[in-house]
């Protein structure tokens, strides 16, 4: 019996030793490959952990972002290594530096000379070579200047108010007439998609909207997934969706050339007319890549923010009451000759803008921005090696208790007489690559909330369920809700 126990103890010791050896060996592979190869420069890297071979720290990232508290990912780094604001890691298939405090975020996002875009391979393949996610800075500036005029500025935004109002009023009326609860996010997504297709496709929008909209959900889920082109994986399904979208938009371009539209023109017509310094027009492939990116970015984020704003208002009756009173005051002060909202009305929605900003902070629809170091860069005494990705952790800034007190609470009043310091409020990014549709998105959300607050309320809602934070934060059950008209 004693001999048997001795043999068993020996076997267990060998197995344990083997496990410790293999575990320690595997955990060091990324460290040897990416850190030790830097030579003496490795001593200047920020603290952190390179994780496992191939997957790095993606497992712990995904695990936390599938929980109801995704901020523990960055909190754990702060707890282990201190509030340095920079941490080395291996994520999204690359050695990376996470930056997570306003000062470091601002420096990275504002420096186009030393940092380029660094989106994951899946994002670049799905948005295309000529989308704003992939093109170099010089080309980005040119195309941005040409393509954002129709969605920015006083005159451009004023043009869209009446159209957005019409969609909002009709949508809310339709939802309130339904006997069964609606899937709130899907319904709001359809509203924002109608707006963006009208702006970018003009007279062709109605004929293709249904077929295009169906593909975008699949495209969204594949954007930040692993680039595994095998059936059953999100990226495989997203690639199929992209191919269908390219085919549909190519058909729109071909139709436009044969039948020059006399009706409403959209961004697609502007893109078809653009010429470079040599008089050459954009190839169809480039136009389609730009349209794919604009149509995706122009409705997904707006829909999610509008949904979260309604949920936060529903869960905070005092805030809801104050926001509603402001909209009633705007309605009361309106001239008798005015039949709808004006840009002046929207700019006087001071409290509602605080509600929207707090929603953007609290929901943090985009958890990070992706950059890549073009050269070795030193920030705050730490090295970011050339070729390493830089993950500007927006969510880490928005949920940092040293930046925003009680960050998990929804407190629009925190924006009273508050001017966020540079790098501390990043819902649309920052620097030259800031989202070109930010003003349009806030316009859509403001108009939507104006009519909702005046005439509707939520009932039979289940917002307490689990939340999925990737690729965008949303309730698992898509938030079933009953929209009721206020009599």
Q: Answer left, alpha or beta for residue 265, where phi above 0 means left and psi between -120 and 50 means alpha.
A: beta
**Cα(43)–Cα(41) distance, rounded to whole angstroms?**
5
Number of H helices, E strands in the chain: 17, 12
Do 247 and 285 contact (CB within 8 A), yes or no?
A: no
Tokens of 99: 């930056």
What does the DSSP assignment read for 274-286?
Answer: -B-TTSPBPPHHH
Q: Which residues contact 217 (CB under 8 A, 6 or more apart)?
A: none
CA-based angle 45:366:384, to the nearest 5? 15
Q: Which residues contact 444 (CB under 8 A, 6 or more apart)?
A: 164, 192, 195, 302, 306
Q: Count of residues for the chain?
A: 487
Do 85 and 65 contact (CB within 8 A), yes or no?
A: no
Do 117 and 391 contact (CB within 8 A), yes or no?
A: no
**Cα(326)–Cα(334) distance, rounded to whole angstroms?**
13
Q: Is the peptide bond before 393 cis (omega within 30 degrees of 0)?
A: no
Tokens of 175: 């939802």
Closest C-alpha among 147, 136, 298 to residue 220 = 298
**Cα(243)–Cα(220) distance, rounded to whole angstroms?**
14
Phi then psi for 96, rounded to 5 degrees?
A: -140, 160
435 is in an annotated binding site: yes
Tokens of 90: 């291996």
First CA to last CA across the chain, in angstroms?
84
Q: Which parts are annotated binding residues?
A: 435
Q: Which parts are annotated binding residues for heme?
A: 435
């Amino acid at each position: 019996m004693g001999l048997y126990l001795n043999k068993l103890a020996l076997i267990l010791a060998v197995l344990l030793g083997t496990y410790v050896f293999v575990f320690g060996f595997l955990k060091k592979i990324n460290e040897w490959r990416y850190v030790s190869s830097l030579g003496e420069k490795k001593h200047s890297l920020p603290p952190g952990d390179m994780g496992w071979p191939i997957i790095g720290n993606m497992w712990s990232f995904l695990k936390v972002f599938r929980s109801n508290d995704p901020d523990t990912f960055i909190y754990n780094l702060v707890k282990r290594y201190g509030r340095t604001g920079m941490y080395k890691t291996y994520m999204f298939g690359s050695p990376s530096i996470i930056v997570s405090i306003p000062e470091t975020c601002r420096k990275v996002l504002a420096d186009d000379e030393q940092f380029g875009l660094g989106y994951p391979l899946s994002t670049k393949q799905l948005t295309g070579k000529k989308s704003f996610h992939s093109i170099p800075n010089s080309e980005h500036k040119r195309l941005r200047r040409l393509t954002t005029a129709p969605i920015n500025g006083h005159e451009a935004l004023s043009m869209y108010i009446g159209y957005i109002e019409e969609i909002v009023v009709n949508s809310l009326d339709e939802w309130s007439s339904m006997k069964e609860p609606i899937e709130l996010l899907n319904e709001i997504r359809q509203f924002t998609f109608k707006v963006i297709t009208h702006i970018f496709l003009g007279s062709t929008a109605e004929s293709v909207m249904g077929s295009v909209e169906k593909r975008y959900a699949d495209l969204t889920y594949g954007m930040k997934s692993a680039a595994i082109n095998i059936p059953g994986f999100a990226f495989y399904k997203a690639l199929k969706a992209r191919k269908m979208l390219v085919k549909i938009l190519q058909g729109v371009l071909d139709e436009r050339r044969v039948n020059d539209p006399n009706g409403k023109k959209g961004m697609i017509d502007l893109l078809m007319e653009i010429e470079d310094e040599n008089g050459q027009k954009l190839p169809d492939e480039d136009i389609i890549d730009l349209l794919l990116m604009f149509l995706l970015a122009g409705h997904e984020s707006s829909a999610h923010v509008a949904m979260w704003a309604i949920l936060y208002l529903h869960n905070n009756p005092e805030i809801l009451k104050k926001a509603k009173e402001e909209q009633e005051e705007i309605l009361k002060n309106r001239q008798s000759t005015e039949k709808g909202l004006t840009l002046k009305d929207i700019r006087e929605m001071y409290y509602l803008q605080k509600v929207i900003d707090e929603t953007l902070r609290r929901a943090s629809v985009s958890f990070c921005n992706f950059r890549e170091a073009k050269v070795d860069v030193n920030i705050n005494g730490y090295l970011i090696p050339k070729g390493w990705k830089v993950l500007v952790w927006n969510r880490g800034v928005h949920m940092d208790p040293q930046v925003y007190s009680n960050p998990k609470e929804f407190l629009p009043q925190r924006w009273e007489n508050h001017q966020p310091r540079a790098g501390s409020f990043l819902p649309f990014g920052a620097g030259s690559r800031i989202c070109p549709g930010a003003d349009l998105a806030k316009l859509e959300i403001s108009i939507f909330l104006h009519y909702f607050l005046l005439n509707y309320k939520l009932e039979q809602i289940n917002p307490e369920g689990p939340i999925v934070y990737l690729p965008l934060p949303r309730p698992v059950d898509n938030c079933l809700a009953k929209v009721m008209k206020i009599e």
